[in-house]
Structure 1
């Protein structure tokens, strides 16, 4: 179910904005060429993100939001162009250009965009969907001008830097992304095939954003440049800046860098082609999967249509969580491993989607499952809409909106999207109204209008060789794409637009001094039962986030019954002695609260997010979950069987196979060699009594940890946690020995995955256990320029220079008990051997020659300027506090780390590289088509050992 915006509530967004009102007012008429449009302030009693809106003479829309709660800024440039603006036969252009926008521009050298932002202590990315492409950065506030300089340069001065070589490399990178996310992914082609069958030929949504390989192969670099010239003008862009800004200064900077960029061709709202299905369209495909899947997709409306909101609520009733009809009819009774409903919406069209994965033990084929889904729709019609349906949906909407405002990035993204698609950054008020006003009659009306008796695309995905499992024989064939003839674009066809400036754009702006970053103040408490509490106050939203960590994780179980802790976590999400799992889920949903329970290596973790006004009620339900589980046999069998199926299905995924083989070879015969979720074999060994015994042994408060980020003070938080004082006892202490596995090194372990489009590679060895200010942390600094950043040596080589992969990296990872050094990537199958050679060369070169002066400077700047981003959101604060509590740190560990970064010498880094990057101590894992790969890998001179999982 989609993320919703929500009901009226008061959020104190105004307090961070009022200090610069005079500055904003003065700025309105201060600059020629920049027109003030409106200012929307905070409004008590209403949910508003305050902003000022301007338009430059070249058509660029500018949205400014002030928030001085943290010394950072978030910059978003959204272009109203996605794959829906592409021409037939030229699919993938919008996404392709997202890649090209990071490859340097006229005044920014190749691969420098990532380097500059990373070195500034920031983060960045870009995303493309069917309707828009956006580029965004979060940086310390003093780096704003640098970001604007970078964004303006690629908006106005990109094309001269787009070379044939860059074009070819990024074309290969996009192909790798498609291979990793679509072709080599179980069920990865589902949405592409459904869209082809749903939409008429040539409809803008009939192809996916990633595009077709044949289209990418067909085009030339000038075709791509022409696409940029058509859609990437300032008049088709919205620049949104939020955070700790001065409005007048920001306006002046925006004018300086963007005002001279010429407008592009006029852009109009896209048309919404109408279409309908006159009959159900059954399609199918065989895939390398364990479980078959049926997917039913009905066409509905388009985003912000008056029927979108009631359709969303209908999707919640039918398929969102344990209170839904599909859960009751398919998952609870073990006819299906998984079932859900969604109603994703886009600018031109929406679809109402229902899907399920049948449980093998049920003996049902996809036709049977389809019949249950259709019966569930009829059941809804008889059942109708209940009061709780609307209460739950609207409570979830409120919580979703509030939690979305916890970061400047979240607020900026909301403003940018609303402006791009509605022309009104303040559209949130209308969103709130349209969802708040949904009635029972509205939900029934849209069911009858869009689902009852209507036609859908019904897609069956079945394991290879098992087409008989399909819901029905195919009755629809996707028409062959007819690509119109067109001559390749030449350089002479391009109408290049150039800005004329009175300053030198080749000079990168210098940042002023970093603004002071305040480490969150915190308080500690240990309850009488041994629970340790570490908390901090945060007043940006009226919310409370908690992380409860109980020493009952994977490491406490026996190897033959790995998965016991994970099954315990699942059972704690089921019925209690007081209410059913469905009633518990309903109660939490009505509060707008989320509670997730999971098992890690050392701890069982309970993540709680609540609106503070409902904190007591939420914690009462959490306490009931944790202290009074029902441990029903039927629920255990369902969770156990589903876990077994998930374990079997995961073995179809190359990344999972690589991680599993690598873990085994690092640890061999101990619990750390096993996945925390268990294997099909170990899960089969587990009985309900084992889970109950594990609960009785380990689920105790002594040495448990509670981390809290809330707008409440100490006394109020302790009062809310008072019920947990009734828990007593201590779990069994962890005694764990993880000896070296003595795995043969200098060899390749090959795991077969037949006909794999990509190969998954892991290179590494056992290494340091985790510490905070010791050698482990210093090794992290050493690795940063090798494989720890986007512009690291490994990633630049394998992705940016060679086009072998969508991404490659190296890293140290570990806990208190063991650690490892790992280099990893998924690469095109045909370059597996070459990729290993490049990995080895980079690691060897770095170990022998060490870090350069430039890399040392880059590492220091990048890591020590990140502080502004470390503590912004409750989630980040939780992670920070959890680290302190786990390692019993004082708050000055931050200063100690900063001193290490500032003072670590080149000689020390080089010594660490020589010590930890010894290739003869490492082994290699490759997952791919063994028949093809084995001779190629042997030709490299390695012994190749077949490895079975």
Structure 2
């Protein structure tokens, strides 16, 4: 999991591993700033605490209540946007599972979306999507939560939905639903673990780090054999044990009438009986008697070494100083691992982490070697870096200042959305029995001393044993750090002896639950006010005020993207952007990183198709020094040869790693076939291995000199500061000088060999990646492009679209399937895609074809038309809440020369469009005989089943060239 208040980088950037959800473990509840509230409470609801906010205080105001059945209710009224976010968190995750029954908590999360006694199969998704909302659920080691963000008039309906699956679920569970979701979970494991480079790292480390039977010794997704062994009765028992209201927290934030909300909560949840009592998990210290070296061969391009030490548990007094140690060792360019491994080119990536759960934490150090270096050498450097921390005297004043600034800024950024605030409240209540945890967190980190950090280093790391994992490319077993000293055990699966029948807890209601609550009056939605400014050097500025939080986000779009590259220098725009994050003529990259971290600010450069983007995020009080750093990086890069060689190697290794991942490979090869191998934007932003290997520092300097001027640059700003203040602060842009060059001409697109299957072999792939499509219209906010997007919504644009319901929900072939139109001002595409279980590849393609063809021939139904209009017509209620959402809105206006009234034009089109026009667009744009198919999969497993489906099959290599 990620730290809730510390941003740790991990290895996601290169190897694609995401963390589990943030969480905090429980501690004694304390009440804060209690005040009297005047609303009358419904019978059966008691008030426990109120927290208010004073000026300048970092706190989330809330009122906390409890129902007689034990359901905890936390309400955070916030009428700044016409939406509500509803979260219900159950205090059960994979850490509550029994040996041999791994994956149950996550499996159950899937099952909870399959309908309940009064909610039909798929109706949960349908009702929320139709309401203009979004929804999901997630599971980690210690909790499962379900959440939705909807227009505020839909709140009652959300409470009806959530209460029905809490209290009226089991009678709706069927064998068919059970088997379908079992297959979906298997597909999720295949896509995110088995079929992903380094995807089994955490599972293998957990097995070695924790004793057999420890609930953290298996991954949240669980083992396939345990999922196969599970039966419907097991699932029902799990529900009855853990899904009672007394083990749940209902948290609601947003635009609500609190008295009415409580009345609805009482109505819908009050008749659900308590479940069994739930005790908090007990912490047992984990120790290792020796270093455990483990290894595995994987389909990767670079080996990896990962070292994990057992430490404490979340909210233990030593957790916070261990987090500081983590930051010193391996967070960013100020860290020891960066200095000793990345800066000198010995590793392409090196990080530290301290992941925590309720009953255990682990301190980790990770590195991927640059070519020419070995895992054994990196392990030696890691251990020497730990020694260096001690020999230099431990933590410095700068270290503590950086971490503490990161805490404060992270807290503030987390307040930018209602969903973020609700998530914080729900986590604090679940793990600490007190939603008001922010002040405690700030205090515990601000009180850390240098002695604390040295103390925990000596207590948990120095001379302590760890798990050391090597992941090496297949066929290279000798490149591990050391031969394995610990072997995976044959798991001891207990005999199932509990034959007791289920004791149900039927809920009661004094109203007709089968009646879906009607939504209230649609909320009034206001598009953000915008302002325009022209700087003296011609830079255009478009801005909007967001006065809910004291933050500023700035995006500078410089016409220096892929479209300015020549085809033999692919990746140059990306490499140049990376160089701007390194040394400048005035400062080292480490000095700038140190200052930014102490400001709690982020400055990022990245290249896309048309633009290189400079992204700035800061607390508004720190805007001036943050802008000064950003402008220093933009206008006076040093272009150091050592930086160039290091970043070039990293880019090449990233490209090699991407070749091991079937999903991006399939998409890139599809783009090359559709838009041509001689158009730069057909390729990954990072170019190709062959072109990047030939790039020189002089190429970077020339690209920068030709493209990084202010001409045609665009700036968008979202801030709590008004336009006058922003204009004054942005005066620094007038010091920006430089040249710009025209976009390279788009080469003619190739003629598609429609009906052809292009196949790329990926031996041993657990899944096949499928792409079906063709070129389509360029972007047009209010033209045929927009109308075609409306047409596709029911076919493949929503979770409960025809394609996804068929391939995921009905067949269980995939974790998700979609189709969409995508375009800009010079290219457009229509594509349907999914990663599917290997043995279903041929039938998945057939199902795609059947759905696309049926939609083209018969069009949508009246019900689908109404659904699409309702869903899209109401989703603007959540479109402009956060700074990032406002930034996206401004970017669309700026990039395509729109006025903000384009939203009104779109709404008018949506209201007036009918089936005839939409079905005509389907007939025009969904012609299968104009489309190609790309599959990346295991030829040995799937080719024979594909041959009867295609007259023309072309086998390609990993670069898209014919074999």
Report whether the alignment pairs 1:216 with 2:227: yes
Deviations 1:97-120 (A, max 9, x none): 100010111101100111100110
Deviation track 1:358-398 (CA, whole Å, cap 9, x = no partner) reads: 011xx222111100100010111111211110111111111
2:23 alignment counterpart: none
Mapped contact 1:5–1:432 kept (Cα < 8 A) = no
2:842 maps to which residue?
Answer: 833
Matched, 1:370 2:379: yes
Which TM-score applies when normalising by structure 2?
0.95
- Shift of residue 23, structure 1, vs aligned partner: 13
Matched, 1:925 2:937: no
Given that 2:76 and 2:254 are in contact with CA atoms closer than 8 Å, whether structure 1 keeps it comes out as yes
With over 3 angstroms needed to count, the CA separation of the structure-2 counterparts of 1:65 and 1:468, relative to structure 1, is: same
The 5 A counterparts of 1:40-119 are 40-119=51-130
SS in 2 for 1:322: coil
Q: Which residue of 2 aligns with 1:584?
A: 592
Which whole-Å CA distance do the structure 1 matches of 2:497 and 2:780 have between them? Answer: 60
Deviations, residues 11-61 of structure 1 (Å, cap 9, x unaligned): xxxxxxxxxx9998233x531111111111113453221111111010000
Mapping of residues 511-910 of structure 1, within 5 Å = 511-668=519-676, 669-910=678-919
SS in 1 for 2:333: coil
Look up the match of 2:37: 25
Contact 2:542 2:894 in 1 (8 A): yes
Contact 1:572 1:629 in 2 (8 A): yes
- List gaps (5 residues or longer) in structure 2: 8-32
User: Deviations for 1:806-856, whole angstroms, at most 9, x for unmatched residues?
Assistant: 000000011111110000000000110010000000000000000110110
In 2 relative to 1, CA 428–672 (structure 1 residues): closer, same or farther, beyond 3 Å? closer
Equivalent position to 1:493, from 494, 501, 506:
501
Deviation at 1:945, TM superposition (A): 1.1
The residue number in structure 1 matching 2:137 is 126
- In the alignment, structure 1 residue 178 sits paired with structure 2 residue 186: no
Aligned length: 931
Quote how far apart the aligned CAs of 1:740 are.
2.4
Q: Distance in 1 between matches of 2:835 and 2:498?
A: 33
Measure how far apart 1:539 and its partner are.
0.9
1:288 aligns with 2:299: yes
> What are structure 1's unaligned runs of at least 5 residues?
8-20
C-alpha distance after superposition, 1:208-236 (max 9, x if no partner): 00000000000111110110010000000
Within the candidate set 448, 458, 473, 1:438 is matched to 448
Residues 119-174 of structure 1 show CA distances to partners (whole Å, capped at 9, x for unaligned) of 10111000000000000000010000000000000001111111000000000000
Are the counterparts in 2 of residues 738 and 818 from structure 1 also a CA contact under 8 Å? no
Asked whether 1:327 is paired with 2:335, we answer: no
Distance, in Å, in 2 between the alignment partners of 1:143 and 1:469 is: 57
1:194 match: secondary structure: helix
Q: Secondary structure at the match of 1:277?
A: coil
Residue pair 2:601, 2:617 contacting (<8 A) in 1 also? yes
Q: Distance in 2 between matches of 1:271 and 1:443?
A: 26
User: In structure 2, the residue corresponding to 1:548 is in which secondary structure?
Assistant: strand
Instruction: Assess if the C-alpha contact under 8 Å between 1:529 and 1:729 holds in 2.
Output: no
1:35 aligns with 2:46: yes
Tell me the SS of whatever aligns to 2:198.
coil
How far is 1:528 from its partner? 2.1
Q: 1:297 is matched with which residue?
A: 308
| Alignment root-mean-square deviation, CA | 1.5
1:10 alignment partner in structure 2: none
Secondary structure at the residue paired with 2:153? helix
> 1: distance between equivalents of 2:482 and 2:589?
34
Q: Deviation of residue 728 (structure 1)?
A: 3.3
Say if 2:153 and 2:519, in contact at 8 Å, map to a contact too: yes
Offset, 1:881? 0.5
Distance 1:4 1:117, change over 3 A: closer
C-alpha contact (below 8 Å) 2:756/2:950 kept by paired residues: no
Question: Is the 1:2–1:312 contact (alpha carbons within 8 Å) kept by the matching residues of 2?
Answer: no
Q: Quickly say closer, same or farther: Cα 1:209–1:6, change in 2 above 3 A.
A: closer
Conserved? CA contact 1:762–1:925, under 8 Å: yes
TM-score, with length taken from structure 1:
0.97
Query: Is contact 1:62-1:238 (8 Å) kept?
Result: yes
Q: Secondary structure of 1:586's match? A: helix
Q: C-alpha deviations, 1:440-499, integer Å up to 9, x for none? A: 11011111111000000000000111111100000111322111111586xx71111111
How far apart, in 1, do the equivalents of 2:698 and 2:41 lie? 74
- Specify the alignment match of 1:16 in structure 2: none
Supply the distance in 1 between the matched residues of 2:449 and 2:265 (Cα, whole angstroms).
Answer: 45
